[in-house]
Amino acid sequence: FKRKKQQRGPPSPPGFPIIGNLHQLGDLPHQSLWRLSKKYGPVMFLKLGRVPTVVVSSSETAKQALKIHDLNCCSRPSLAGPRELSYNYLDIAFSPYDDYWKELRKMCVKELFSPKRVRMIQPIKDEEVKKLIESVTESASSISPVSLSEKFLALNVSVICKAAFGLSFQETVLNNDRFNKLVREAFLFLGSFSASDFFPNGGWIIDRLTGLQGWRERSVRDLDAFYEQMFELHKHGNKDRVEDFVDLLLRLEKEEAVLGNDKLTRNHIKAILMNVLLGAIDTSAITMTWAMAELIRNPRVMKKVQSEIRNQMENRLVITLEDIDQLHYLKMVIKETWRLHPPVPLLVPREVMSEFEIDGYNIKPKTLLYVNAYAIGRDPDTWKDPEVFLPERFLDNDIDAKGHHFELLPFGSGRRICPGMYMGTATVEFGLANMLYQFDWKLPEGMVVEDIDMEEAPGLAVGKKKELLLVPVKY
């Protein structure tokens, strides 16, 4: 009997011939899959066109996949969306699990994403946050609403671009709407379910007909032109300024650095820069926007988190990293935001490399594996009253967001965990702390809490669909 159970595949919702379960994904697959998991359980098998897919939706099954069997399933599928953007999977996020990825990741963790780098870019953050405060202060004096979604995105674009591309960036495309749109679009493609992934023999025709392929090509072309522009600006070295990411990568190229079997080329550098751009900007801005949306809906929590910050600061003006360390309630607010609104709700899909079991169900090589962090954050078996925004729930447990606790997985876990975790967390904490310290926030005239729309926009990173407009009042 035992042997028979071991060979059993996970439960599966009925699908159609050819398309399988594709029609059940909808615009917001994490939500559709969450609903399906309530009926079919925390390990579910789906057929997405031709592709066998397993979705795990509980902390226990996520632990089995990402911790116990991480090595069986830490590769990535060759999806069409990221193919061109990553110059044929030369980046960290979409590269298969191989020696190149291992060495690239090690190099980036050491050089680009290290706590030392996070401290190095703090002056950039100080300056950009100061500019943000000035611009919001202007809106406060004219009692006009600001689009927080837009402000947070602009803040992160400036910080990341200065850290990655240096100050020269400012004269070229900073504050340029086209650039913001480019980042947004590219993200949409990374998360898009394209027909060629699921119908290997002709899906590309559908992608051409729907216009997806044309869009994608344009987006790749524009980003490529942008990287080239950056290389041109960095041609003359960095004698008078701090080394940015492009300087560093170009230096490694010059030194003929080898990663796995690959010698570092311009295409490798572009793929790495794509990860930094797309990995860092949207995810942090999305978190900050969701946090402010939840805070305005929950005035008690808003007041409490502001009191914590204001008590810590007494009358000092500039928030330091040491101050942030003391803001325990703010950290709980951010965790609670990630529980309800994980910015990358299905993480980045994995591909199974060798057979293993979850809950006794057999998972075969080449299966696509999704972890539904959104469903896990709303699982009533783990979270009491999951729909309620209650940061205090983190008072009586030690659950953190760093991939050790499978109840809360905004950054994933295991070998593929987000390497930008410290950088992302620091950005979110610092930006929110400043906005909450300097200003009180009100809804625009005539609006009530119930009017706030919490609808989500589709993509690999899922943000708030409508912009968040709030009126600042200077503290």
Looking at beta carbons only, is 161 or 347 nearer to ligand HEM?
Answer: 347
Sequence-distant (6+) residues with CB within 8 A of 26 are 32
Least distance between ligand HEM and beta carbon 343 (Å): 4
Q: Distance between CA atoms of 376 and 108, rounded to whole angstroms? A: 29
Q: Between 338 and 394, whose beta carbon lies closer to ligand HEM?
A: 338
85 HSE (CA, 13 A, CB side): 30
Pairing of strands 368-371, 51-56: parallel
Q: What angle do CA 320, 322, 323 make, to 5 degrees?
A: 65
Q: How far is the CB of 418 from ligand HEM (least distance, A)?
A: 3
In the complex, the smallest distance separating the C-beta of residue 276 from ligand HEM, rounded to whole angstroms, is 5
Residue with Cβ nearer ligand HEM (199 or 374): 374
The SS3 assignment for 469 reads strand
Q: Is 33 helix (H, G, I), strand (E, B) or coil?
A: helix
Site of interaction with ligand HEM (CB under 6 A): 92-93, 105, 113, 275-276, 279-280, 283-284, 287, 343-344, 347-348, 410-412, 416-420, 423-424, 428
Cα 172 to Cα 162: distance, rounded to the nearest angstrom: 12
Nearer CB in complex with ligand HEM: 10/463: 463
User: Can you list the alpha helix ranges (DSSP code H) found in 142-244?
Assistant: 148-165, 169-172, 177-191, 195-198, 203-209, 212-233
Q: How far is the CB of 210 from ligand HEM (least distance, A)?
A: 27
Tell me: is residue 73 an annotated ligand-binding position. Answer: no
- Beta carbon nearer to ligand HEM, 139 or 284: 284
401, containing H or E segment: none
**Least separation in angstroms between CB 316 and ligand HEM:** 27
For residues 21 and 19, give the distance between their C-alpha atoms in angstroms, rounded to a whole number: 6
Please say which residue, 46 or 66, places its beta carbon nearer to ligand HEM.
Answer: 66
CB of 230 vs ligand HEM, minimal distance in Å? 16
97 Cβ partners below 8 Å, 6+ apart? Answer: 74, 75, 76, 353, 415
Kind and range of the H or E run holding 104? helix 99-111
The annotated binding site for heme is made up of 418
Annotated binding site: 418
